[in-house]
């Protein structure tokens, strides 16, 4: 079915109340009352009626994770093209595979991504991918939050640039009919796939409509060398000349940075997403977290897509980010556990303008309950340290987003059907299925 045939219909949002009894919060045993989509009150022995009551005994409540950069539907390519450098990986494997994807395929892959994120405690993700409406449908149905951008490539082709600009305007208008859990953002892929004219146009469009711009930058040495050869300056300097450096710009990767580059980012309030696992797997380079921190650049964590990670587990990302920061700077005190948790939670929330990322009255009710009896959480000297350095996704018992329970007792409604649909979808895409197999829609 063609993409234009779908309308995005917001999921029915029902105001509910949830009372979580006797849960551990920063060493204290408390009750947590959620009304609608916000934390209402936190204290001891809260006496309130609620539609849902959860026994929090033996569990800790923590902020849920905010995945500040991914390509959700690339779950369809998990394990498809591994162990190669970025530009060969993209041009010879990933882009040809993506050219075969339909909106239904992206919807299937995005639902699998949402399922994986729910089961590992993530309630928000920022996405850049094809078939925007397919991802938006998945988000609406699965109950998560997302900042969604349509991938913008023009390869210096004026005709393609016109089509991409029209797509941005059409999808931006369409996004107004989505629920408030979906945020529309702009997604130019990179400076080597988007023309200077289009980057200037996107800058003006973002300024006119108050939108965030989400862009890969300085991911590889080749990208930097090519930019210098073509434009006579480094990628950050090139963006500065184009007027793109601003607080609404979110740069992903930012691996190949000089001290001057970082200073420019800090001066203009540019925000950065660190994707340590993807950077390591593709051997893109080492992110200088210490330099970003010293200059005051806002940093959050992202997993990148499943074809380059190969999972969406922000718990794993926290640990690796912390360890990589330490060994890169040869400083074991850098990026301690609390700071790493912030990178994966409140920093991502702030980056995308969300009133969340912490457990506090009045904030968005996005949280997880962690099983303190899980073998990886025992003994409990320090819950946050355990969460960052020893836990994995199996430690997450319950995931709540926007005041709705999306997972309880590690069970997500409809997860078996999602897995079945994805397997059928991938079998069709790879030619390993018969014509009678079940469709993804």
136-147 pLDDT, tens digit per residue, is 999 999 999 999
Concatenated DSSP letters of 231-296: HSS-HHHHHHHTT--STTEEEEE--S--HHHHHHHHHHT-EEEE-HHHHHHTT-----HHHHHHHT
With 0.85 as the threshold, say if the pTM is over it: yes
Residue 390 has pLDDT above 70, yes or no: yes
User: What share of the chain in percent tops pLDDT 70?
Assistant: 94
b/e string for 104-138 if b means 16 or more Cβ within 10 A? bbbbbbbbbbbbbbbbbbbbbbbbbbbbbbbbbbb
Token pair belonging to 95: 């882009």
pLDDT for the residue 438? 41
What pLDDT, on a 0 to 100 scale, did the predictor assign at position 100? 86
Using CA atoms, how far apart are residues 355 and 173, in angstroms rounded to an integer? 24
Angle between helices 196-209 and 158-175 (to 10 degrees): 20
- Taking 80 as the threshold, does the pLDDT of residue 2 lie above it? no
Q: Quote the DSSP letter at residue 390.
A: T
Confidence label for 5 from pLDDT (cuts 50, 70 and 90): very low
pLDDT at 407 over 80: yes
In order of 156, 275, 317, 368, the CA distances from 304 in angstroms are: 25, 6, 10, 22
**Better-predicted residue by pLDDT, 4 or 188:** 188
Say whether pLDDT at 304 is over 60: yes
Asked whether the predicted pLDDT for residue 393 surpasses 90, the reply is: yes
Is the Cβ–Cβ distance between 169 and 208 less than 8 Å? no
What separation in angstroms does the CA of 428 have from each of 1, 5, 268, 418? 15, 22, 47, 16
CB atoms within 10 A of CB 313: 23
Helices (H), 69-129: 86-89, 95-98, 103-119
| Domains assigned to the chain | 17-63+358-407 (2.30.40.10), 65-351 (3.20.20.140)
Each residue of 354-376: b (16+ CB within 10 Å) or e?
Answer: bebbbbeeebbbbbbbbbbebee
Condensed to tens digits (0 to 9), the pLDDT of residues 219-240 reads 999 999 999 999 999 999 999 9
Mean pLDDT, the chain, integer? 93
For residues 166-177, average pLDDT: 97
pLDDT tens-place string over residues 44-81: 989 999 999 999 999 999 999 999 999 999 999 898 88
Q: Are 301 and 273 in contact (CB under 8 A)?
A: yes
């Amino acid at each position: 079915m063609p993409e234009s045939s779908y309308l995005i219909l917001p999921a029915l949002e029902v105001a509910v109340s949830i009372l979580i009894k006797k849960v551990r919060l920063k060493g204290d045993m408390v009750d947590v009352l959620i009304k609608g989509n916000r934390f209402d009150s936190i204290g001891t022995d809260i006496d309130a009626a609620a539609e849902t009551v959860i026994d929090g005994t033996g569990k800790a409540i923590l902020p849920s994770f905010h995945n500040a950069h991914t390509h959700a539907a690339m779950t369809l390519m998990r394990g498809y093209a591994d162990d190669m450098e970025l530009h060969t990986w993209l041009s010879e494997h990933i882009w040809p595979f993506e050219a075969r994807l339909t909106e239904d395929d992206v919807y299937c892959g995005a639902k699998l991504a949402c399922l994986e994120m729910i089961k590992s405690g993530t309630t928000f993700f920022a996405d850049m991918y094809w078939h925007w409406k397919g991802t938006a449908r998945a988000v609406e149905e699965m109950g998560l939050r997302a900042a969604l951008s349509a991938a913008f490539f023009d390869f210096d082709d004026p005709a393609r640039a016109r089509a991409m600009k029209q797509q941005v305007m059409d999808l931006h208008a369409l996004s107004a009919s989505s629920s408030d859990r979906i945020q529309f953002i702009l997604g130019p892929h990179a400076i080597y796939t988007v023309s200077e004219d289009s980057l200037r146009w996107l800058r003006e469009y973002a300024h006119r409509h108050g939108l965030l711009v989400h862009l890969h930058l300085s991911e590889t040495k080749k990208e930097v060398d090519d930019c210098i050869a073509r434009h006579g300056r480094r990628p950050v300097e090139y963006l500065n000349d184009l007027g793109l450096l601003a607080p609404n710009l979110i740069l992903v990767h930012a691996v190949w940075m000089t001290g001057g580059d970082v200073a420019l980012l800090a001066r203009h309030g540019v925000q950065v997403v660190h994707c340590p696992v993807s950077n390591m797997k593709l051997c893109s380079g080492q992110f200088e977290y210490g330099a970003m921190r010293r200059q005051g650049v806002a940093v959050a964590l992202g997993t990148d897509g499943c074809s380059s990670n190969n999972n969406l587990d922000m718990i794993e990302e926290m640990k690796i980010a912390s360890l990589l920061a330490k060994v890169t700077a040869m400083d074991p005190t850098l990026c301690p556990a609390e700071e790493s948790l912030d990178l994966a939670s409140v920093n991502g929330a702030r980056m995308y303008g969300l009133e969340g990322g912490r457990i506090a009255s009045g904030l968005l009710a996005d949280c997880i309950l962690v099983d303190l009896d899980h073998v990886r959480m025992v003994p409990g000297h320090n819950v946050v340290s355990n969460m960052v350095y020893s836990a994995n996704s199996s430690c997450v018992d319950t995931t709540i987003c926007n005041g709705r329970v999306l997972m309880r007792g590690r069970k997500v409604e409809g997860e078996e059907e999602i897995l079945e649909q994805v397997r059928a979808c991938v079998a069709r895409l790879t030619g390993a299925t018969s014509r009678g197999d079940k469709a993804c829609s």
